Amino acid sequence: MPELQGDDAGQAHFDAVIARDSRIEPTDWMPADYRHALIRQMSQHAHSEIIGMQPEANWITRAPSLKRKAILMAKVQDEAGHGLYLYSATETLGITRDEMTAQLLAGKARYSSIFNYPAVTWADMGAIGWMVDGAAITNQVPLCRASYGPYARAMVRICKEESFHQRQGFEILLELSHGTPGQKAMAQDAVNRWYGPSLMMFGPPDTDSPNSQQSMAWNIKRFSNDELRSRFVGMLAEQAKVLGLELPDPAVRLNPDTGKWEHGPLDWDEFKNVLAGRGPCNAQRMERRRAAHDGGAWVREAAAAYAAKQAARAAQEVA
Ligand SMILES: [Fe+2]
Ligand SMILES: [Fe+2]
């Protein structure tokens, strides 16, 4: 048999790496569709981390104590860090951070629709940490084994930080639910509002998720949307008991026949509306991001001028 060359050899190598569940690295040959799917998923993920700073940053100046403020600041800074790891990891696929930022600011790139909901009370900091970061972990732990090396490695560190985020949210709700009746009601109200949107973070039902199968064949995605959603509901149901709070869904149950957690219907029309830009905070989130980008222009210019000066100095020393 003649030796494979060019793309054929590349494809054969790629297929073998995927078949033995190993990692593809930036310098390896990869199919164009694989590269594009990763750029799409990873840049959306990076944008979500950065836009996701906004609902919580909103509460930093109003945190009820110095301790809470310090924790919340650390958490929001972690999210900025997650965005940076992910932008860097995505750049290894041949797109620049400037291009990704331009796509976000032009409204061409998506970010997770969950961040288009408002954080209206302090209890939302608890519900976001417990449910939104909790859903993120459920989604992201399997991504630590994603076939693209830089993505998988970024996820390992991100997941460690996400588990702190989830714990701090749980702890806020625990304290409120054991506080005054008013505080407990505030915690319950936040859980009621974030429940549906957090379940929808896993994406549409499997029957309506066209890209999932290819993504699973490439070992990027390991479990289906519905499978992950079911695991997440199970985690919420058990932890809600400890919190002394109710999930606003009487259909939640562990099906003894399938061993899977089930939940009631979700409002997929709302999901599609928010995704299409008609959520409660879409316009505000994008406006704030654009203002932050414009306001930060001088920092980027200064950093570029400094880097140029350093490079010129280094070149002079060599000469
Ligand atoms: Fe994050
Ligand atoms: Fe987080």
Q: What is the pLDDT of residues 6-63, one digit of tens each?
A: 888 999 999 999 999 999 999 999 999 999 999 999 999 999 999 999 999 989 999 9
Find the 160 Cα to ligand 2 centroid distance in Å.
10
Q: What pLDDT is recorded for position 2? A: 60
Nearest C-alpha neighbor of 79 from the set 43, 108, 109, 54: 54
Question: What is the structure's pLDDT at 4?
Answer: 77
Ligand nearest to the CA of 74: 2
3-state DSSP call for residue 261? strand
Does the structure show a pLDDT above 80 at 190? yes
Ligand index nearest the alpha carbon of residue 158: 1
Question: 306: burial class by Cβ within 10 Å (0-12, 13-18, 19+)?
Answer: exposed
Residue 312 CA to ligand 2 centre (angstroms): 40
Rounded Cα distance between 16 and 20, Å, is 6
* d(CA 77, ligand 1 centre) in Å: 9
180 Cα: distance to centroid of ligand 1 (angstroms)? 31
Among the listed residues 152, 194, 164, the one whose alpha carbon sits nearest the alpha carbon of residue 45: 152
Q: How many Å lie between the centroid of ligand 2 and the Cα of residue 315?
A: 42
Q: What is the mean pLDDT of residues 127-156?
A: 97
Q: Give the Å distance between the CA of 158 and the centre of ligand 2.
A: 8
Helix (H) or strand (E) holding 220: none
What is the arithmetic mean of pLDDT over 152-157?
Answer: 95
Q: Give 166 Cα–ligand 2 centroid separation in angstroms.
A: 7
CA 268, CA 22: separation in Å to the nearest integer? 36
* Mean per-residue pLDDT, 167-175: 97
How far apart CA 93 and CA 154 sit, in angstroms, is 14
Which residue shows structure tokens 């060359």? 5
Distance 77 CA to ligand 2 centre (A): 10
pLDDT of the residue at 231: 97
| Ligand nearest to the Cα of 50, by number | 1
Q: What is the mean pLDDT of residues 286-292?
A: 96
Nearest alpha-carbon partner for 18 in 293, 171, 217, 153 = 217
Nearest to 114, CA basis, from 290, 226, 282: 282
Residue 1 pLDDT exceeds 60: no
CA–centroid distance, residue 134 to ligand 2 (Å): 8
For residues 297 and 217, give the distance between their C-alpha atoms in angstroms, rounded to a whole number: 41
Distance 79 CA to ligand 1 centre (A): 4
Q: Which of 228, 273, 282, 287 is nearest to 116 (CA)?
A: 282
Q: Which listed ligand is nearest to 135 at the C-alpha? A: 2
Mean local confidence (pLDDT), 221-239:
96
Residues 245-256 have a mean pLDDT of 98
Question: Residue ranges of the alpha helices (H) in the chain?
Answer: 6-19, 32-51, 53-57, 66-91, 97-105, 123-127, 133-140, 149-177, 181-199, 212-217, 225-243, 268-273, 282-295, 297-318
Please choose, from the candidates 147, 145, 140, the residue with its C-alpha nearest in 3D space to the C-alpha of residue 25: 147
| Helical packing angle, 97-105 and 282-295, nearest 10° | 140
CA distances from 253 to 117, 236, 237 (A): 27, 11, 8
Residue 202 makes CB contacts below 8 A (sequence gap 6+) with 135, 138, 139, 225, 226, 228, 229, 232
CA of 163 to the centre of ligand 2 (A): 8
Cα of 230 vs centre of ligand 2, distance in Å, is 20
Ligand 1 centroid – CA 49 distance (Å): 5
- The mean of the pLDDT values for the chain is 95
Question: 166 C-alpha vs ligand 1 centroid, how far in Å?
Answer: 10
What pLDDT shows up at residue 318? Answer: 84
Q: How far apart are the first and last CA of the chain?
A: 52
CA 138 to ligand 1 centroid distance, Å: 12
- b/e sequence 4-40, b meaning 16+ C-beta within 10 Å: eeeeeeeeeebeebbeeeebbeeeeebeeebeebbbe
Phi, psi for residue 261 in degrees, rounded to 5: -80, 140
Overall average pLDDT of the 146-153 stretch: 97
- Percentage of the chain lying above the pLDDT 70 cut: 99
